[in-house]
Amino acid sequence: MKTIQNILVLMILVALLANCIPSKKRNADTENQEGNQQENPETQTSDSLQSQSLIRCSTMEVLEKHMARTPDLRSKMETIETLCQRVIQRNKKNKVSGTDTISIPTIVHVIYSNDVENISDEQISSQIDVLNQDFTKTNEDSSQIPEEFMGIAAETNIHFSLDSILRIPATRDSWGTDDQMKFASNGGSNVISPETHLNIWVCTIGGGILGYAQFPGDSADTDGIVVSSQFFGTKGSVTPPFNKGRTTTHEVGHWLNLRHIWGDGNCSQDDFVEDTPRSDGPNYGCPEYPIVRCESNDITMNFMDYTDDACMYMFTEGQKERMRSVFAIDGPRESFIK
């Protein structure tokens, strides 16, 4: 486990730059992971192979685009990082635990061009159920957490409620990652009350991309997460091996300021969470515990890795502290609890 590090603004700047991983790096990570797992190709399932051909998350690539077009975004995120670390350390010093439930009303924008994309209310409700289970550690598969990590598995005390569903017929077959679906002027649906509501756009992103999110501090006009309909919820049109709603859990983690479990870099790159082991790349499929990277066992079952839905089932206490810190006084999501 990592020891507490003092994160200076300069280090944050380097970290943010390192986080922007191009597709070639991601492909290299995939190849390295196949070697690390030492899995016999003949025993790999078609679902496992499919999970490696899809793009689990495009959040960091979207962040890179947003930084390029918004010059002050980097400094805003640095300020948020400094605040989060200060809140976390203050709570540790004063032995403050997150006991109050934080409630997040959720608006789902369903943008569809065919009946399959126009997912049912039941499918949407199943996703809200998954969020509440995963963020309160009431998910049944949490019993599979290895003993090494059981002591740090967290109940975050964050609850989600379905506020409303908007259904927007469209003519586009896919939307990409340029936030086009977030504007009615483009045929999408405008964000609603982002200061008090989580907005989720469910549509076909395209390019094999499952989902992406926006970090705190970015534009209110595009705040929220985007998930392709076939990976949203547990019922209806969902497609294995991403049919247990964990894409949305992963992206909401980003929306609450969590980074990927490997910090989107090598063994020296941090995810800014004290109790997660260092790693140098994502894991795919359903790796058999333990997977050793950076001289420690990877926490492959964490929601912020890239494993299949059935093989991720925990947040850590450190991740809980980080997520809850964005709701602190002067935090980027303080308005949710005012």
Q: How far apart are CA 54 and CA 210, in angstroms?
A: 7
Q: 112: which strand partners?
A: 169
Could you tell me if 276 and 319 are in contact, meaning their C-beta atoms sit under 8 angstroms apart? yes
With a pLDDT cut of 90, the percent of the chain lying above it is: 81
What average pLDDT does the structure give for the chain?
88
| Phi, psi dihedrals of residue 11, rounded to the nearest 5° | -65, -35
pLDDT band at 96 (very low <50, low <70, confident <90, very high): confident
Quickly count: other Cβ atoms within 10 Å of residue 270's Cβ.
19
Looking up tokens 């790693």 gives 279
pLDDT for the residue numbered 47: 52
Which pairing describes strands 198-202 and 225-227: parallel, antiparallel, or unpaired? Answer: parallel
- What pairing do the DSSP bridges indicate for beta strands 296-297 and 292-293? antiparallel
Given a contact cutoff of 8 angstroms between Cβ atoms, the answer to whether 217 and 257 are in contact is no
Q: What is the pLDDT of residue 338?
A: 83
Residue 45 makes CB contacts below 8 A (sequence gap 6+) with 285
**How do strand 211-213 and strand 225-227 relate by DSSP bridges?**
antiparallel
**pLDDT tens-place string over residues 147-175:** 999 999 999 999 999 999 999 999 999 99
Residue 21 has what pLDDT?
38
- Residue 143 neighbours by CB under 8 Å, 6+ apart: none
pLDDT band (50, 70, 90) for residue 26: very low
- The full set of domain ranges for the chain reads 9-336
CB neighbours of 256 closer than 8 A, spacing ≥ 6? 158, 216, 322, 323, 326, 333
Span 221-270, pLDDT tens digits = 999 999 999 999 999 999 999 999 999 999 999 999 999 999 999 999 98
Active site residues: 251
**pTM, entire model:** 0.87
DSSP string, 299-329: -TTBTTS---GGG--B-BHHHHHHHHHTTST
Q: What is the pLDDT of residues 118-137, one digit of tens each?
A: 999 999 999 999 999 999 99
Q: In this model, does residue 51 exceed pLDDT 60?
A: no
pLDDT of 230 reads 97
CATH fold of 9-336: Collagenase (Catalytic Domain) (3.40.390)
Of residues 250 and 8, the one with the higher pLDDT is 250
